[in-house]
Amino acid sequence: MVQVVSTVERQGQTQVWHSMEIGEAIALLKTSSDEGLNGFEVKERVNKYGANELTGKKGQPWWLKFLLQFNQPLLIILLCAGLVKALSGSLVNAGVIWGVTTTNAIIGFIQESKAEGAIAALAQAITTETTVIRDGQKVRIPSRELVPGDLVFLISGDKVPADLRLIQVKNFQVDESGLTGESVAVEKNLNTLHPDTPIGDRKNMAYAGGFVTFGQGTGIVVATGNETETGKISQLMQQHSHLTTPLTRKFDKFSKNWLRIVLALATLTFVVGLSTRDLKDALEAAVTLTVSAIPEGLPAVVTVTLAIGVSRMAKRNAIIRKLPAVETLGSATVICSDKTGTLTENQMTVQAIYASGHQYTLTGIGYIPEGEILRDERPINLNSDKGLQECLLAGVLCNDSQLECKDGRWNVLGDPTEGALIASAEKVGFNQESISRQMPRLDTIPFESDYQYMATLNQTSKGKIIYVKGSAEAILKRCNLLLNSEGNSRPIDCVETLHQTNIEREVNIMARQGLRVLALAKKAVPDNQTTVDHVDIEKGLVFLGLQGMIDPPRESAIKAVKACQDAGIQVKMITGDHAVTAQASHDAWVLIRMVRYWHLQVRN
């Protein structure tokens, strides 16, 4: 992964924002953490820094792009031959030669123009609005109007509009998978970091293109437009050299060699002709030999063939910007693919549940509330397992996110992990909206990294109950009972040979399968209690179950990988996960497991 450091130049020194104290960053940007910038400062900075938008390299004019289509040795000699024909009076022959070369150029020009137009349309379609504090007032403005020093306020569901140094956070989590490749949202804080800290670990920064999944935060804009991390990557992508492929290299080599041979023969013909004929006849014979020896149809045939390949790729939603690039697909022996959002759905999905002493598996993918819960590969009767009911119910109630279906696609408004819990419950008919009305929330303890759990106090038909969800380590040490399938509490058993509980063993099993594991528990409290505090859940919790989730593979990715392997192409997975994360989750092994999982879905 390319690592680019967010910087600003000042008095010849490079400033690294994530290693600065908040006060130092505010002073350097000459702004206020309360009032933000005033109107006069905004105008000055707009003139200095420009709009907050990605700008590409200035494109070539259309006429130059068209002329560059003729920049091939064979076409150049054909143009010259046509010119000689025209000067010698053979206008029909000249027109035919020029017609072939012009047709070739037009095909290439039109195809490349379509591809560039599609790319430009994608860039223009990305527009957002953001909330800023200016002159002490919150205002909503287009993100392109942001300038360094602006005070930006973000809440769950917002898109990060520029690179920010965070100055205030409250349970603030940002999905930065587009930049870092990490599929799990990152919880942010305000701690000052070492200058060499990589992008994925800069928890006091929020970068342009990120998506706020939870909480709220305030940050100062430190970079806009092309100076953001996303902008710098965009600039790197534009620093490409002239495109050459195996076909174009062979074509150029053949053209140059054949050109030398033809010119040598034409020169010889002209010299010999002068000894037996006049100048006009000798020149005519040399030109005729040149034109007849050059395969004028070859450039057109190659271009049309490539254009057909590009057209077929376009029907599959693949944009090929340069015609010769499509040829390299046929020469590929290794394909390197990103993991998050490419091979995977970028949607967390619960795949395993452990409740009331039993293991369950779930079908379905993503946030789509469709699928079944299986036990021993058979659908279960939910009414027969009260412990499983409570486990699913806790995942819905102890939750700050929502699922929505927009344009036929299910998305989560909030944390992806919480969205997975809602989807797993809705697969058996637990509707979040209905349950929330029946069991209203009275109080909550938001998730904090220091505690590794979240808790809610709900009014139920059986009295007031605290529901808790969090990491297995944080929850299990607070539990001394578990709920069985009849809905009764009993002591947690211990596997003596392993010196661990059955639950801890199940946690390890899920973890070895690459699943992210959440534990759920509950505790009944007196009817006169109206709030919940950390002291209330220090002990005495009843364990309800575990839910293990993973970012599943795309269904189309399974077929694509198999097709590549059948064609003799190796597929390599590229992930932006940390080395520790990759080692712990056994990413390569997990990918194989996910492939097998999909094959199982197909068989079923």
What are the backbone angles phi and psi of residue 168, rounded to the nearest 5°? -145, 135
Q: What one-letter code names the amino acid at 19?
A: S
Instruction: Report the chain's terminal Cα–Cα distance, integer Å.
Output: 39
Nearest in space to 366 (alpha carbons), one of 413, 415, 423: 423
- HSE at residue 25, side-chain half, CA atoms within 13 A, is 27
| CA pair distance 311, 351, nearest whole angstrom | 39
| CA pair distance 132, 296, nearest whole angstrom | 62
Please report where in the chains the tokens 């599943």 appear, as a residue: 552
Eight-state DSSP code of residue 358: E
Q: What are the tokens at 552? A: 């599943």
Pairing of strands 453-460, 570-574: unpaired
Please report where in the chains the tokens 């801890």 appear, as a residue: 504
| CA pair distance 533, 455, nearest whole angstrom | 9
Nearest in space to 513 (alpha carbons), one of 596, 572, 436, 604: 596
Q: What one-letter code names the amino acid at 256?
A: K
| CA pair distance 395, 408, nearest whole angstrom | 25
Give 195-226 as a DSSP string: TT--GGG-TTEE-TT-EEEEEEEEEEEEE-GG
Give 404-428 as a DSSP string: EEETTEEEEES-HHHHHHHHHHHTT
Q: What are the tokens at 345? A: 């759905």
In angstroms, the Cα distances linking 196 to 182, 200, 213, 233 are: 19, 12, 27, 19
Q: Which of 201, 252, 338, 443 is catalytic?
A: 338
Residue 252 a catalytic site member:
no
Indicate which residues carry an active-site annotation: 338
